[in-house]
Structure 1
Protein backbone atom coordinates (compact mmCIF):
# COMPACT_ATOMS: atom_id res chain seq x y z
CA UNK A 1 0.00 0.00 0.00
CA UNK A 2 1.37 3.38 -1.05
CA UNK A 3 0.35 6.38 1.06
CA UNK A 4 0.98 10.11 1.32
CA UNK A 5 0.96 11.89 4.70
CA UNK A 6 0.52 15.68 4.74
CA UNK A 7 1.40 17.85 7.75
CA UNK A 8 -0.04 21.25 6.82
CA UNK A 9 1.36 24.18 8.79
CA UNK A 10 0.95 27.93 8.65
CA UNK A 11 3.75 28.51 6.16
CA UNK A 12 4.43 25.19 4.41
CA UNK A 13 3.29 21.61 3.89
CA UNK A 14 5.53 18.76 5.02
CA UNK A 15 4.92 15.46 3.28
CA UNK A 16 6.00 11.85 3.54
CA UNK A 17 5.43 9.12 0.97
CA UNK A 18 5.29 5.54 2.27
CA UNK A 19 5.26 2.09 0.67
CA UNK A 20 4.11 -0.31 3.35
CA UNK A 21 6.07 0.74 6.43
CA UNK A 22 8.98 2.18 4.45
CA UNK A 23 9.34 5.95 4.21
CA UNK A 24 10.32 6.53 0.61
CA UNK A 25 10.51 10.31 0.46
CA UNK A 26 9.99 13.39 2.60
CA UNK A 27 9.97 17.04 1.67
CA UNK A 28 8.28 20.38 1.90
CA UNK A 29 6.05 22.25 -0.56
CA UNK A 30 5.07 25.88 -0.18
CA UNK A 31 1.30 25.58 -0.28
CA UNK A 32 -1.67 23.22 -0.15
CA UNK A 33 -2.22 23.95 -3.81
CA UNK A 34 1.05 22.19 -4.63
CA UNK A 35 -0.23 18.87 -3.25
CA UNK A 36 -1.96 18.02 -6.53
CA UNK A 37 1.44 17.92 -8.19
CA UNK A 38 2.70 15.56 -5.48
CA UNK A 39 -0.22 13.24 -6.12
CA UNK A 40 0.56 13.14 -9.81
CA UNK A 41 4.25 12.44 -9.22
CA UNK A 42 4.07 10.04 -6.25
CA UNK A 43 0.82 8.24 -7.18
CA UNK A 44 -0.31 7.23 -3.67
CA UNK A 45 -3.31 4.97 -3.16
CA UNK A 46 -4.41 6.71 0.07
CA UNK A 47 -3.81 10.18 1.56
CA UNK A 48 -4.03 11.58 5.10
CA UNK A 49 -3.92 15.30 5.86
CA UNK A 50 -3.43 17.09 9.16
CA UNK A 51 -3.78 20.86 9.25
CA UNK A 52 -3.14 23.46 11.95
CA UNK A 53 -3.76 26.25 9.44
CA UNK A 54 -6.74 26.11 7.11
CA UNK A 55 -9.73 23.84 6.65
CA UNK A 56 -8.83 21.27 3.99
CA UNK A 57 -12.30 19.92 3.11
CA UNK A 58 -12.34 21.61 -0.30
CA UNK A 59 -8.84 20.40 -1.08
CA UNK A 60 -9.64 16.86 0.10
CA UNK A 61 -12.51 16.65 -2.38
CA UNK A 62 -10.12 17.65 -5.16
CA UNK A 63 -7.47 15.12 -4.05
CA UNK A 64 -10.09 12.38 -3.92
CA UNK A 65 -10.56 12.73 -7.66
CA UNK A 66 -6.84 12.05 -8.21
CA UNK A 67 -6.45 8.83 -6.21
CA UNK A 68 -8.09 5.41 -6.16
CA UNK A 69 -8.31 5.01 -2.40
CA UNK A 70 -9.25 7.16 0.57
CA UNK A 71 -8.51 10.73 1.63
CA UNK A 72 -8.61 10.96 5.42
CA UNK A 73 -8.71 14.35 7.14
CA UNK A 74 -7.19 13.76 10.58
CA UNK A 75 -9.31 15.25 13.38
CA UNK A 76 -7.99 14.43 16.88
CA UNK A 77 -11.46 14.42 18.46
CA UNK A 78 -13.12 12.02 16.01
CA UNK A 79 -10.61 10.08 13.89
CA UNK A 80 -10.13 6.45 14.92
CA UNK A 81 -6.69 5.82 16.43
CA UNK A 82 -4.48 2.78 17.07
CA UNK A 83 -3.87 4.10 20.63
CA UNK A 84 -6.12 5.49 23.35
CA UNK A 85 -6.41 9.27 23.63
CA UNK A 86 -6.55 10.19 27.31
CA UNK A 87 -6.55 13.96 26.73
CA UNK A 88 -9.37 15.68 28.62
CA UNK A 89 -10.24 18.04 25.74
CA UNK A 90 -9.49 16.19 22.48
CA UNK A 91 -11.21 18.89 20.42
CA UNK A 92 -8.47 21.35 21.49
CA UNK A 93 -5.58 18.95 20.98
CA UNK A 94 -3.07 19.77 18.25
CA UNK A 95 -3.08 17.12 15.54
CA UNK A 96 0.72 17.13 15.39
CA UNK A 97 0.99 16.21 19.08
CA UNK A 98 -1.35 13.26 18.73
CA UNK A 99 0.22 12.07 15.48
CA UNK A 100 3.66 12.13 17.13
CA UNK A 101 2.26 10.05 20.00
CA UNK A 102 0.94 7.45 17.55
CA UNK A 103 4.35 7.36 15.86
CA UNK A 104 6.14 6.85 19.16
CA UNK A 105 3.72 4.09 20.21
CA UNK A 106 4.38 2.30 16.93
CA UNK A 107 8.14 2.32 17.56
CA UNK A 108 7.79 1.35 21.25
CA UNK A 109 4.44 -0.42 21.71
CA UNK A 110 5.11 -1.55 25.29
CA UNK A 111 7.17 1.32 26.73
CA UNK A 112 6.29 4.73 28.08
CA UNK A 113 7.67 7.48 25.87
CA UNK A 114 8.41 11.16 26.36
CA UNK A 115 8.23 13.03 23.07
CA UNK A 116 10.13 16.30 22.90
CA UNK A 117 9.02 18.22 19.81
CA UNK A 118 11.20 21.31 19.54
CA UNK A 119 9.84 23.70 16.95
CA UNK A 120 7.80 26.90 17.08
CA UNK A 121 6.74 25.62 20.49
CA UNK A 122 8.58 23.14 22.71
CA UNK A 123 6.16 20.34 23.48
CA UNK A 124 6.87 17.53 25.93
CA UNK A 125 4.24 14.79 25.64
CA UNK A 126 3.87 11.51 27.48
CA UNK A 127 2.64 8.25 25.94
CA UNK A 128 1.93 5.82 28.77
CA UNK A 129 2.99 2.22 28.20
CA UNK A 130 2.89 2.55 24.43
CA UNK A 131 -0.90 2.58 24.45
CA UNK A 132 -2.31 5.85 25.90
CA UNK A 133 -1.61 9.48 25.12
CA UNK A 134 -1.79 11.38 28.42
CA UNK A 135 -0.87 14.92 27.38
CA UNK A 136 2.09 17.03 28.43
CA UNK A 137 3.33 20.59 28.26
CA UNK A 138 3.59 23.41 25.72
CA UNK A 139 6.14 26.21 26.02
CA UNK A 140 7.54 28.85 23.67
CA UNK A 141 10.22 27.67 21.27
CA UNK A 142 13.63 29.28 20.94
CA UNK A 143 12.68 31.93 18.40
CA UNK A 144 9.52 32.85 20.24
CA UNK A 145 11.58 33.45 23.39
CA UNK A 146 13.99 35.73 21.58
CA UNK A 147 11.10 37.57 19.96
CA UNK A 148 9.20 37.99 23.24
CA UNK A 149 12.18 39.61 24.99
CA UNK A 150 12.46 42.12 22.16
CA UNK A 151 8.74 42.79 21.71
CA UNK A 152 7.68 43.12 25.32
CA UNK A 153 10.59 45.20 26.63
CA UNK A 154 11.63 48.71 25.83
CA UNK A 155 15.28 48.34 24.91
CA UNK A 156 16.33 44.70 24.56
CA UNK A 157 17.52 43.90 21.02
CA UNK A 158 16.15 41.13 18.85
CA UNK A 159 18.72 38.35 19.11
CA UNK A 160 18.79 35.30 16.87
CA UNK A 161 20.18 31.83 17.62
CA UNK A 162 23.77 31.26 16.50
CA UNK A 163 24.09 29.99 12.94
CA UNK A 164 25.79 26.82 14.18
CA UNK A 165 23.64 25.49 17.02
CA UNK A 166 26.10 22.76 18.02
CA UNK A 167 28.77 25.20 19.22
CA UNK A 168 29.30 25.46 23.01
CA UNK A 169 27.14 28.02 24.81
CA UNK A 170 28.58 30.51 27.27
CA UNK A 171 26.92 30.27 30.67
CA UNK A 172 27.73 33.88 31.55
CA UNK A 173 27.03 36.52 28.93
CA UNK A 174 29.44 39.46 29.03
CA UNK A 175 27.24 41.80 26.98
CA UNK A 176 23.48 42.15 26.48
CA UNK A 177 23.30 40.03 23.37
CA UNK A 178 25.29 37.12 24.82
CA UNK A 179 23.33 37.40 28.09
CA UNK A 180 20.06 37.01 26.17
CA UNK A 181 21.48 34.04 24.28
CA UNK A 182 22.55 32.41 27.53
CA UNK A 183 19.17 32.97 29.14
CA UNK A 184 17.13 31.73 26.21
CA UNK A 185 19.26 28.82 25.06
CA UNK A 186 20.67 27.53 28.35
CA UNK A 187 17.30 28.17 29.98
CA UNK A 188 15.44 26.10 27.39
CA UNK A 189 17.90 23.22 27.77
CA UNK A 190 17.58 23.31 31.57
CA UNK A 191 13.80 23.37 31.24
CA UNK A 192 13.66 20.32 28.97
CA UNK A 193 16.19 18.40 31.07
CA UNK A 194 14.02 19.17 34.08
CA UNK A 195 10.99 17.65 32.36
CA UNK A 196 13.04 14.58 31.42
CA UNK A 197 14.16 14.10 35.03
CA UNK A 198 10.62 14.53 36.38
CA UNK A 199 9.13 12.00 33.95
CA UNK A 200 11.96 9.54 34.57
CA UNK A 201 11.20 9.67 38.30
CA UNK A 202 7.71 8.40 37.46
CA UNK A 203 8.77 6.04 34.65
CA UNK A 204 12.23 4.49 35.19
CA UNK A 205 12.05 2.67 31.82
CA UNK A 206 11.12 5.85 29.94
CA UNK A 207 12.06 6.15 26.28
CA UNK A 208 12.91 9.69 25.12
CA UNK A 209 12.25 10.77 21.52
CA UNK A 210 13.28 14.08 20.01
CA UNK A 211 11.70 15.67 16.94
CA UNK A 212 11.12 19.12 15.46
CA UNK A 213 13.17 21.72 13.63
CA UNK A 214 15.40 22.51 16.65
CA UNK A 215 16.15 18.88 17.46
CA UNK A 216 19.74 19.38 16.32
CA UNK A 217 20.25 22.05 18.98
CA UNK A 218 18.82 19.99 21.83
CA UNK A 219 20.23 16.56 20.97
CA UNK A 220 23.80 17.00 22.30
CA UNK A 221 22.59 18.94 25.35
CA UNK A 222 19.92 16.63 26.77
CA UNK A 223 20.63 14.04 29.43
CA UNK A 224 20.04 10.36 28.85
CA UNK A 225 19.72 8.19 25.77
CA UNK A 226 17.80 10.15 23.13
CA UNK A 227 16.36 8.87 19.86
CA UNK A 228 16.03 11.55 17.17
CA UNK A 229 13.20 10.93 14.70
CA UNK A 230 12.59 14.08 12.62
CA UNK A 231 9.73 12.43 10.68
CA UNK A 232 7.84 11.27 13.79
CA UNK A 233 4.65 13.24 13.00
CA UNK A 234 4.57 11.98 9.41
CA UNK A 235 5.13 8.41 10.58
CA UNK A 236 2.30 8.78 13.07
CA UNK A 237 -0.03 10.14 10.39
CA UNK A 238 0.82 7.18 8.18
CA UNK A 239 0.01 4.74 11.02
CA UNK A 240 -3.33 6.49 11.64
CA UNK A 241 -4.18 6.21 7.94
CA UNK A 242 -3.25 2.52 7.82
CA UNK A 243 -5.35 1.86 10.92
CA UNK A 244 -8.41 3.48 9.34
CA UNK A 245 -7.97 1.82 5.97
CA UNK A 246 -7.47 -1.67 7.40
CA UNK A 247 -10.31 -1.74 9.95
Structure 2
Protein backbone atom coordinates (compact mmCIF):
# COMPACT_ATOMS: atom_id res chain seq x y z
CA UNK A 1 0.00 0.00 0.00
CA UNK A 2 1.32 3.45 -0.88
CA UNK A 3 0.11 6.34 1.24
CA UNK A 4 0.63 10.09 1.11
CA UNK A 5 0.11 12.26 4.19
CA UNK A 6 0.08 16.04 4.47
CA UNK A 7 0.91 17.82 7.74
CA UNK A 8 -0.24 21.45 7.61
CA UNK A 9 1.62 23.14 10.45
CA UNK A 10 1.80 26.66 11.84
CA UNK A 11 4.85 27.58 9.77
CA UNK A 12 5.07 25.03 6.93
CA UNK A 13 3.31 22.20 5.10
CA UNK A 14 5.13 18.87 4.98
CA UNK A 15 4.27 15.69 3.16
CA UNK A 16 5.42 12.11 3.53
CA UNK A 17 5.02 9.23 1.09
CA UNK A 18 5.08 5.71 2.56
CA UNK A 19 5.42 2.35 0.85
CA UNK A 20 3.87 0.01 3.40
CA UNK A 21 5.47 1.37 6.61
CA UNK A 22 8.67 2.75 5.06
CA UNK A 23 8.98 6.50 4.50
CA UNK A 24 10.13 6.81 0.89
CA UNK A 25 10.02 10.58 0.48
CA UNK A 26 9.28 13.68 2.54
CA UNK A 27 9.60 17.40 2.00
CA UNK A 28 8.51 20.70 3.48
CA UNK A 29 7.34 23.93 1.96
CA UNK A 30 4.48 22.31 0.07
CA UNK A 31 1.51 24.28 -1.30
CA UNK A 32 -2.05 23.50 -2.29
CA UNK A 33 -1.23 24.45 -5.88
CA UNK A 34 1.48 21.75 -6.01
CA UNK A 35 -0.90 18.94 -4.98
CA UNK A 36 -1.82 17.66 -8.49
CA UNK A 37 1.83 17.38 -9.55
CA UNK A 38 2.81 15.63 -6.30
CA UNK A 39 -0.05 13.13 -6.52
CA UNK A 40 0.62 12.43 -10.20
CA UNK A 41 4.28 11.75 -9.47
CA UNK A 42 3.87 9.65 -6.31
CA UNK A 43 0.61 7.86 -7.29
CA UNK A 44 -0.64 7.09 -3.77
CA UNK A 45 -3.44 4.62 -3.09
CA UNK A 46 -4.76 6.64 -0.15
CA UNK A 47 -4.16 10.14 1.26
CA UNK A 48 -4.57 11.82 4.64
CA UNK A 49 -4.63 15.56 5.36
CA UNK A 50 -4.04 16.92 8.87
CA UNK A 51 -3.75 20.50 10.06
CA UNK A 52 -3.09 22.55 13.17
CA UNK A 53 -3.56 25.76 11.18
CA UNK A 54 -5.94 26.12 8.24
CA UNK A 55 -9.03 23.94 7.56
CA UNK A 56 -8.43 20.76 5.56
CA UNK A 57 -11.62 20.83 3.43
CA UNK A 58 -10.06 22.65 0.47
CA UNK A 59 -7.07 20.28 0.44
CA UNK A 60 -9.35 17.24 0.57
CA UNK A 61 -11.55 18.60 -2.24
CA UNK A 62 -8.49 19.11 -4.43
CA UNK A 63 -7.24 15.59 -3.70
CA UNK A 64 -10.39 13.47 -4.10
CA UNK A 65 -10.56 13.50 -7.92
CA UNK A 66 -6.88 12.55 -8.07
CA UNK A 67 -6.74 9.61 -5.65
CA UNK A 68 -8.24 6.17 -6.38
CA UNK A 69 -8.75 5.25 -2.75
CA UNK A 70 -9.50 7.01 0.53
CA UNK A 71 -8.93 10.72 1.17
CA UNK A 72 -9.15 11.18 4.93
CA UNK A 73 -9.35 14.47 6.79
CA UNK A 74 -7.81 13.79 10.20
CA UNK A 75 -9.92 15.21 13.03
CA UNK A 76 -8.54 14.33 16.49
CA UNK A 77 -11.96 14.33 18.15
CA UNK A 78 -13.67 11.94 15.73
CA UNK A 79 -11.22 10.04 13.49
CA UNK A 80 -10.82 6.39 14.63
CA UNK A 81 -7.37 5.71 16.06
CA UNK A 82 -5.15 2.69 16.79
CA UNK A 83 -4.68 4.24 20.24
CA UNK A 84 -6.84 5.09 23.25
CA UNK A 85 -7.16 8.85 23.77
CA UNK A 86 -8.06 10.07 27.28
CA UNK A 87 -7.54 13.78 26.57
CA UNK A 88 -10.39 15.66 28.26
CA UNK A 89 -10.98 18.06 25.35
CA UNK A 90 -10.19 16.10 22.16
CA UNK A 91 -11.74 18.80 19.97
CA UNK A 92 -8.94 21.17 21.09
CA UNK A 93 -6.14 18.62 20.71
CA UNK A 94 -3.63 19.37 17.98
CA UNK A 95 -3.44 16.86 15.16
CA UNK A 96 0.35 16.87 15.37
CA UNK A 97 0.39 15.89 19.05
CA UNK A 98 -1.99 13.00 18.54
CA UNK A 99 -0.23 11.82 15.39
CA UNK A 100 3.11 11.83 17.21
CA UNK A 101 1.54 9.73 19.98
CA UNK A 102 0.26 7.19 17.43
CA UNK A 103 3.70 7.02 15.83
CA UNK A 104 5.43 6.51 19.18
CA UNK A 105 2.93 3.83 20.23
CA UNK A 106 3.49 1.95 16.96
CA UNK A 107 7.28 2.12 17.33
CA UNK A 108 7.28 1.22 21.03
CA UNK A 109 4.33 -1.12 21.69
CA UNK A 110 3.63 -1.93 25.35
CA UNK A 111 6.17 0.71 26.47
CA UNK A 112 5.89 4.02 28.31
CA UNK A 113 7.08 6.87 26.11
CA UNK A 114 7.60 10.60 26.53
CA UNK A 115 7.49 12.47 23.22
CA UNK A 116 9.50 15.69 23.05
CA UNK A 117 8.34 17.51 19.93
CA UNK A 118 10.55 20.56 19.46
CA UNK A 119 8.84 22.60 16.78
CA UNK A 120 7.01 25.93 16.68
CA UNK A 121 5.80 24.93 20.15
CA UNK A 122 7.75 22.74 22.55
CA UNK A 123 5.53 19.81 23.53
CA UNK A 124 6.14 16.96 25.97
CA UNK A 125 3.47 14.26 25.67
CA UNK A 126 2.95 11.02 27.55
CA UNK A 127 1.97 7.69 25.93
CA UNK A 128 1.26 5.09 28.59
CA UNK A 129 2.04 1.45 27.89
CA UNK A 130 2.11 1.94 24.14
CA UNK A 131 -1.67 2.11 24.05
CA UNK A 132 -3.01 5.27 25.75
CA UNK A 133 -2.42 8.97 25.09
CA UNK A 134 -2.63 10.81 28.42
CA UNK A 135 -1.77 14.37 27.40
CA UNK A 136 1.23 16.48 28.35
CA UNK A 137 2.50 20.04 28.17
CA UNK A 138 2.77 22.83 25.62
CA UNK A 139 5.27 25.68 25.86
CA UNK A 140 6.72 28.23 23.43
CA UNK A 141 9.33 26.83 21.06
CA UNK A 142 12.81 28.29 20.76
CA UNK A 143 12.08 30.83 18.03
CA UNK A 144 8.86 31.89 19.73
CA UNK A 145 10.82 32.62 22.92
CA UNK A 146 13.34 34.75 21.08
CA UNK A 147 10.56 36.62 19.26
CA UNK A 148 8.56 37.22 22.46
CA UNK A 149 11.54 38.84 24.21
CA UNK A 150 12.03 41.16 21.25
CA UNK A 151 8.40 42.00 20.54
CA UNK A 152 7.17 42.40 24.12
CA UNK A 153 10.00 44.62 25.34
CA UNK A 154 11.21 48.03 24.31
CA UNK A 155 14.91 47.44 23.68
CA UNK A 156 15.82 43.75 23.62
CA UNK A 157 17.12 42.67 20.21
CA UNK A 158 15.84 39.71 18.18
CA UNK A 159 18.34 36.90 18.64
CA UNK A 160 18.53 33.87 16.37
CA UNK A 161 19.28 30.24 17.10
CA UNK A 162 23.02 29.61 16.54
CA UNK A 163 23.90 28.26 13.09
CA UNK A 164 25.92 25.51 14.77
CA UNK A 165 23.26 23.93 16.98
CA UNK A 166 25.84 21.61 18.60
CA UNK A 167 28.15 24.42 19.73
CA UNK A 168 28.61 24.82 23.51
CA UNK A 169 26.25 27.27 25.22
CA UNK A 170 27.89 29.57 27.77
CA UNK A 171 25.90 29.67 30.98
CA UNK A 172 26.75 33.31 31.65
CA UNK A 173 26.19 35.76 28.82
CA UNK A 174 28.65 38.67 28.79
CA UNK A 175 26.53 40.87 26.51
CA UNK A 176 22.80 41.25 25.89
CA UNK A 177 22.62 38.89 22.93
CA UNK A 178 24.56 36.10 24.65
CA UNK A 179 22.51 36.62 27.83
CA UNK A 180 19.28 36.19 25.85
CA UNK A 181 20.71 33.13 24.10
CA UNK A 182 21.69 31.60 27.44
CA UNK A 183 18.31 32.30 28.99
CA UNK A 184 16.26 30.94 26.09
CA UNK A 185 18.38 27.94 25.14
CA UNK A 186 19.77 26.80 28.48
CA UNK A 187 16.36 27.46 30.01
CA UNK A 188 14.56 25.32 27.43
CA UNK A 189 17.04 22.46 27.90
CA UNK A 190 16.65 22.59 31.68
CA UNK A 191 12.88 22.63 31.25
CA UNK A 192 12.80 19.52 29.08
CA UNK A 193 15.32 17.67 31.26
CA UNK A 194 13.13 18.51 34.24
CA UNK A 195 10.08 16.99 32.55
CA UNK A 196 12.06 13.88 31.64
CA UNK A 197 13.28 13.48 35.22
CA UNK A 198 9.76 13.80 36.64
CA UNK A 199 8.29 11.29 34.18
CA UNK A 200 11.14 8.86 34.91
CA UNK A 201 10.24 8.98 38.59
CA UNK A 202 6.81 7.71 37.56
CA UNK A 203 8.16 5.24 34.98
CA UNK A 204 11.83 4.18 35.46
CA UNK A 205 11.81 2.31 32.11
CA UNK A 206 10.55 5.39 30.26
CA UNK A 207 11.67 5.83 26.66
CA UNK A 208 12.10 9.35 25.28
CA UNK A 209 11.40 10.05 21.61
CA UNK A 210 12.63 13.37 20.22
CA UNK A 211 11.07 14.90 17.10
CA UNK A 212 10.51 18.26 15.45
CA UNK A 213 12.57 20.83 13.61
CA UNK A 214 14.76 21.68 16.61
CA UNK A 215 15.49 18.05 17.52
CA UNK A 216 19.14 18.44 16.48
CA UNK A 217 19.60 21.21 19.05
CA UNK A 218 18.12 19.21 21.92
CA UNK A 219 19.59 15.79 21.09
CA UNK A 220 23.10 16.23 22.60
CA UNK A 221 21.74 18.12 25.60
CA UNK A 222 19.06 15.79 26.96
CA UNK A 223 19.93 13.32 29.69
CA UNK A 224 19.75 9.56 29.20
CA UNK A 225 19.15 7.54 26.05
CA UNK A 226 17.01 9.37 23.49
CA UNK A 227 15.40 8.02 20.30
CA UNK A 228 15.56 10.71 17.60
CA UNK A 229 12.78 10.34 15.03
CA UNK A 230 12.42 13.64 13.12
CA UNK A 231 9.45 12.42 11.02
CA UNK A 232 7.45 11.00 13.93
CA UNK A 233 4.32 13.05 13.10
CA UNK A 234 4.33 11.88 9.47
CA UNK A 235 4.71 8.28 10.63
CA UNK A 236 1.77 8.67 13.00
CA UNK A 237 -0.40 10.17 10.28
CA UNK A 238 0.48 7.24 8.03
CA UNK A 239 -0.50 4.73 10.74
CA UNK A 240 -3.80 6.57 11.32
CA UNK A 241 -4.56 6.39 7.60
CA UNK A 242 -3.69 2.65 7.46
CA UNK A 243 -5.91 2.01 10.49
CA UNK A 244 -8.87 3.71 8.81
CA UNK A 245 -8.33 1.99 5.47
CA UNK A 246 -8.04 -1.48 7.03
CA UNK A 247 -10.90 -1.17 9.53
The alignment's TM-score, normalised by the length of structure 2, stands at 0.98
- Report if aligned partners of 1:81, 1:240 keep a CA contact under 8 Å in 2: yes
2:122 aligned residue: 122
- Could you give the per-residue CA deviations for residues 61-113 of structure 1, whole angstroms, max 9, x where no partner exists? 23111111000000000000000011000000000000000000000110010
Partner secondary structure for residue 24 of structure 1:
strand
Assess, with a 3 A threshold, how the Cα gap between structure 1 residues 79 and 150 changes in structure 2: closer, same or farther. Answer: same
Within 5 A, what are the aligned runs for 1:1-247? 1-247=1-247
- Greater alpha carbon shift after TM alignment, 45-54 vs 102-111: 45-54
| Deviation larger for 35-44 or 52-61 | 52-61
1 CA distance for matches of 2:29 and 2:185? 30
Question: Aligned partners of 1:196 and 1:6: how far apart in 2?
Answer: 30
Q: Give the root-mean-square deviation of aligned CA atoms.
A: 0.9
Q: Secondary structure at the match of 2:28?
A: strand
For residue 65 of structure 1, give the secondary structure of its aligned residue in structure 2. Answer: helix
Q: Measure how far apart 1:58 and its partner are.
A: 2.8
| Deviation of 1:8 (Å) | 1.0
Partner SS for 1:26: strand
CA distance in 2 between partners of 1:204 and 1:147 (Å) = 36
SS in 2 for 1:30: coil
Report how many aligned residue pairs link the two structures. 247
Q: Equivalents in 1 of 2:58, 2:153: separation in Å?
A: 43
Which stretches of structure 1, 4 residues or more, deviate above 6 A after TM superposition? Answer: none
Q: Distance in 2 between matches of 1:59 and 1:213?
A: 24
Question: Structure 1: 5+ residue runs without aligned partners?
Answer: none
In the TM superposition, what is the alpha-carbon distance from 1:176 to its structure 2 partner? 1.0
Q: Deviations over 1:9-35 (max 9, x none)?
A: 244320110111111111124312212
Q: Secondary structure at 1:195's aligned position in 2?
A: helix
Distance 2:120 2:198 in 1: 23
